[in-house]
Amino acid sequence: MKLKNLISIFCLWAILLFSCEKNQKSKTFETAKIEEVSMDFKTYPFSDPSPVVEMNNIYPYFKFDGYTNNAVEQAWKMVVMENEYIKVFVCPEIGGKVWGAIEKSTGKEFLYYNDVVKFRNIAMRGPWTSGGLEFNFGDIGHAPSCSTPVDYELIANEDGSVSCIVGAYDLPSRTRWNINITLPKDKAYIETKVSWFNTTNQFTTYYQWMNAAAKASGNLEFAYPGKNFIGHNGETGNWPMNNNRDISKYENNNFGGYKSYHVLNTYSDIFGGYWKDDDFGFGHYTAYDEKPGKKLWIWGLSDQGMIWEDLLTETKGQYIEYQSGKLFNQASPGSTFSPYKHKEFEPFTSDIITELWFPLKDTNGMVAASEHAVLNVEETTDSLTIYISALEQLSETLYVSQNGKTTENDIKLAPLEVFKTTINQDAKSDFKIILGNNLLEYSSKQEDQLVNRPIDHKKDFNWDSAYGTYTKALELEKQRQYTEALEAYHDCIAKDPGFLPAYSRLSLAYFRNMDYQIALKYSEEALMIDTYHPESNYAYGLVNQKLGKITDAKSGFSIASQSLSLRSASYIELAKLFLNESNYNKALHYADKAIKSDANNILGYMISAFANRHLQDEEHTQDAIDNIFKLDPLSDFTRHEAVILGKNDLETFNSKITNELPFESYLELAATYLQFNDKESAISVLKESQQHPIVNLWLANLDHINQDSYIKNVFEASAEMVFPHRVETAEFLETILKTNSHWKLKYYLGLIYWHKGLKEKASELFKQCKNEPDFAAFYLTKMNLMKLTSVEERNHLESAYELDSYNWRTALALSKNYLASKETSKAIEIGEKFIKLFPENSQIGMNYTSALLQDEQYLNALNFLEKFNILPFEGSTEGKKIYTLVCIKLALKAHEQKQYNEAIAYAEKAKLWPRNLGVGKPYDVDERLENYIIAKANDKLGNKSNTQKLKADLLKDIKNSETLNIDLALEAIKKIN
């Protein structure tokens, strides 16, 4: 019996030991982990928000002008997510970006983790940091929210995965985005789910790119399937071989300047890169229909680009960016004239995009991938070597078909384990690889991969035709160039009075500009041409709703709903009209129709929740709220509805609004309730906001009992850094101005009119403010808005300077005014004062140098430039240009004085690219002017042998003449000869 017991115990011990060993080999986390921590980083902060309005396509956002070379230790909130394979860092205080991601077994990064926080003037508002994974929405890249706090939430999901959701508003378009960053418990990838909602009734700009970073060193080769690339303006090239270079290899890009390769013309879901020296890489996967755009960004390999390694990083080295986009390229204005047009975001629509980001390990590259695995194939004349790297637990069969034969391999892999096999072949021939039941597929046949989409524009397209003019107008509108678009639409109908689409767009344009009578005129003229035209009916509905002609509005939206493109939006507008009549059943009817037309119509669910709550239908109210939460876990509306339903408290509701400008979130939510005809909820929301003049202005209009108190708050608060932009705010201001003429009301309304393109009305309101405004930025803003005489400009500047004699923006503008009127000594005096006060301000430094130049104090200018540090913006060359100008001026002066050796020395100095001036030397430079001076000086010195090569160089074809100052060259030739 004892022996039996011993044998049983031994067997049990053996089973347990085997089980432990097995578990050790295939160890998985029970769940992924997530926590919020505080992490200290060496930080180069940004500061100095500008109170001066420069009306542009990101208003109401303001720029930041303060950057520094002096670091501080700063604690940053970091959300850390981790499973067995991957560790991910998310920074909600810096745009919500993924700060970096690491493959744990190697400790290597597949998303660049910057160990410093170096803000530099690169983004639309200025501050930007390199590395990680950046999210861009709105109009163009490096979005307004990329460096400031966003809303965020941490969630442990039922399936064991964890999520950090980050999100914010894009204020110019009033759209809302969120990114659900999810780390599964047992997979070797990060999933990002983009949700972007246009909850407005207008067409607006569409731009969505994800910018990921990876280190540049390590013999990096890019895996970007495609046969062509295009640039920002639609210019074209071949990929990967272009001009006899394999540009898919990082080191082969050692020519020209910065590189933006938008690779296209392959039907592929993947791209990435592999460091051959590290046997490691990075990959990206998303369905082609969701994200066909694949961009590779490389800083120039010359010092022109490598200077940014020091400006943006410290110990981690230079980086590249691998980027995914909704369109084939990040279209610049010039792309209008190529096939690659801009895109717009239709009213009340949404975009949901799922992407995967993953490490490549021990595969030597990548030719295909899916959410299940990564594939690489290396082919020689006599063999195929196949690598399969799992992204999840795999137990599948691998099929390799070639020349009518199929080879099968059963594979069992844990995430990031690699199966490798070599198959012999007599000669190269086409093959196909399939994993399991089409979990991953790859064909070597070119026709199975490549796309023959035309890449060049149509040469004989008539841009001066009515359609050509309309196309230009629409493209301008899609870039927020609304004033120019309006003019172009008018040009279109002048060329062809029957060009119907231009009439509907004119109606929508005037609706955006709050000119409702003219908007109605153009929608009616459009309907005279085609009474069923969807866009014209939609515009007709919008305008009549604003004008209080509700029956006409219902008619317009009803006919517009017959079009698939505007069906869901039209149903939303009809639902809102019935909400305003307190007809909740009818509102529900149209909200449901909107949802059936577009299952992701978030406003449809919001109307459903609101109407069902008023009908006391708790079950359907909660269903609608649950659907909103699935689309937008950060929804302020759902959180506030939960407060109303007694399922949430106000403290929790308020604590979740963590973005840079929280008052804007309260205003946007209040605006939603006002659309739903719920003034009481709007008031309740606004009372939770922190104090702000625009919040108080809204409360003054909505809460009549306490109106005087709120108006008093508006007048007592500073108008500096207040940037109103909503139509609702304009309407409230117009109402109050009927009984109160305070200058702040006129200023705020003037800003909105200006924002809407109504510059004449804005200018009139600014004039009415006279000299009452008590902050300097008003006068600088007024100068940006209005065309002033030199006398008026001087008076404004001196008034501003009297208000604040230590304001560098006023001082800079005044100094420029002095320079324009040749009052150089006054400009120098200002420069000397303010360069001491603001020693790192590049604008002050450059203007001071210009003043010294104008006063012909060339040596003083040079001495200053040799000590001054410029923190540049991307693409800036001003520091080098002014340095070259100073050196050439000194060289010419020395030549005139027959100091030829000195002339040569200064001309040689002009060729230098001092790094303290924030510009690196590109591969191609034009030094003909410098060499001309040197050659002429050597001639005078009798050094004939020194001049032969210089004179020969003057005749060479120069690839890049951007560095040549033509006016200066002509002056030099004149003086020397």
With contact defined as beta carbons under 8 Å apart, do 267 and 445 qualify?
A: no
Write the pLDDT tens digit of every residue in 704-725: 999 999 999 999 999 999 999 9
Q: Whole-angstrom Cα distance, residue 752 to residue 557?
A: 28
Range of the domain at 407: 368-448
DSSP class of residue 224 equals -
In which band, very low, low, confident or very high, does the pLDDT at 428 lie, cut at 50, 70 and 90? confident
- Confidence (pLDDT) at 8: 44
In a shared domain, residues 154 and 130? yes
Q: Is residue 730 part of a domain?
A: no
In a shared domain, residues 270 and 147? yes
Task: Give φ, ψ of 126 to 5 degrees.
Answer: 115, -85
Tell me which of 184-188, 197-201, 950-954 is least confident: 950-954
In a shared domain, residues 420 and 485? no
- In this model, does residue 491 exceed pLDDT 90? yes
In which band, very low, low, confident or very high, does the pLDDT at 619 lie, cut at 50, 70 and 90? very high
- Confidence (pLDDT) at 872: 81
- Confidence (pLDDT) at 958: 63
Average pLDDT, integer, range 184-204: 98
Domain harbouring 145, CATH code: 2.70.98.10
Average pLDDT, integer, range 312-336: 97
Of the two residues 71 and 803, the one the predictor is more confident about is 71
Q: Is residue 629 part of a domain?
A: no
Q: Which tokens is 77 given? A: 């909130």
In a shared domain, residues 207 and 315? yes
Looking at 327, 361, 395, the residue that finishes a domain is 361
- In this model, does residue 896 exceed pLDDT 90? yes
- Confidence (pLDDT) at 372: 99
Chain CA centroid to CA 939, Å: 54
Q: Euclidean distance between the first and final Cα of the chain, in Å?
A: 118
In a shared domain, residues 210 and 298? yes
On average, the pLDDT of the chain sits at 94
- In this model, does residue 25 exceed pLDDT 70? no
Q: Is residue 645 part of a domain?
A: no
In which band, very low, low, confident or very high, does the pLDDT at 877 lie, cut at 50, 70 and 90? confident
Of the two residues 1 and 649, the one the predictor is more confident about is 649
In a shared domain, residues 84 and 116? yes
Domain harbouring 429, CATH code: 2.60.40.10
With contact defined as beta carbons under 8 Å apart, do 251 and 259 qualify?
A: no
Q: Which tokens is 571 given? A: 């149903």
Of the two residues 928 and 295, the one the predictor is more confident about is 295
In a shared domain, residues 269 and 341? yes
In a shared domain, residues 333 and 425? no
Q: Whole-angstrom Cα distance, residue 233 to residue 236?
A: 9
For residue 38, CA distances in Å to 75, 79, 315, 721 come to 6, 9, 22, 30
In a shared domain, residues 18 and 37? no
Q: Say how many CA atoms lie within 13 Å of 808 toward its Cβ.
A: 22
Looking at 344, 361, 378, the residue that finishes a domain is 361
Q: Is residue 853 part of a domain?
A: yes
- Confidence (pLDDT) at 873: 75
Tell me which of 26-35, 271-280, 651-660 is least confident: 26-35
Write the pLDDT tens digit of every residue in 279-299: 999 999 999 999 999 999 999
Q: Is residue 611 part of a domain?
A: no
Average pLDDT, integer, range 446-467: 95
In which band, very low, low, confident or very high, does the pLDDT at 2 lie, cut at 50, 70 and 90? very low
- In this model, does residue 968 exceed pLDDT 90? no
In which band, very low, low, confident or very high, does the pLDDT at 329 lie, cut at 50, 70 and 90? very high
Write the pLDDT tens digit of every residue in 136-166: 999 999 999 999 999 999 999 999 999 999 9
Q: Is residue 967 part of a domain?
A: yes
Looking at 448, 474, 501, the residue that finishes a domain is 448
Q: Is residue 255 part of a domain?
A: yes
In a shared domain, residues 503 and 518? yes
Average pLDDT, integer, range 337-365: 98
Q: Whole-angstrom Cα distance, residue 153 to residue 77?
A: 13
Domain count of the fold of the chain = 5
In which band, very low, low, confident or very high, does the pLDDT at 970 lie, cut at 50, 70 and 90? low
- Confidence (pLDDT) at 79: 99
- Confidence (pLDDT) at 22: 36
In a shared domain, residues 245 and 346? yes
In a shared domain, residues 402 and 470? no
> Rounded to two decimals, what is the model's pTM?
0.94
Burial 615-628 (b: 16+ CB within 10 A, else e): eebeeebbebbebb
- In this model, does residue 14 exceed pLDDT 50? no
- Confidence (pLDDT) at 962: 58
Q: Is residue 623 part of a domain?
A: no
- In this model, does residue 20 exceed pLDDT 60? no
In which band, very low, low, confident or very high, does the pLDDT at 959 lie, cut at 50, 70 and 90? low
Average pLDDT, integer, range 366-381: 97
Average pLDDT, integer, range 48-57: 97
- Confidence (pLDDT) at 427: 83
Write the pLDDT tens digit of every residue in 215-243: 999 999 999 999 999 999 999 999 999 99
Domain harbouring 863, CATH code: 1.25.40
